[in-house]
Amino acid sequence: MHGRNKGVLGTEPDGRPIAFTGTAVWEVRDGRLARNWVERASWELRQRLTA
């Protein structure tokens, strides 16, 4: 994911470019979404924004 900082994770919205990665896992049953899990690298992003 990428974009501009508009105050993500409680930081000051400064318009700097931001980017982070993540993984989504979907469980599909009978052609329908049953569950999903999302893991984002948000801790690393927050560390970069507050450094």
Q: What is the pTM of this model?
A: 0.59
Contacts of 31 (CB under 8 A, 6+ apart): none
pLDDT per residue over 1-51, tens digit each?
A: 899 999 988 899 999 999 989 999 999 999 999 999 999 888 888 888 888
The 3-state DSSP class for residue 9 equals helix
pLDDT value of position 46? 87
pLDDT value of position 45? 87
The 3-state DSSP class for residue 39 equals strand
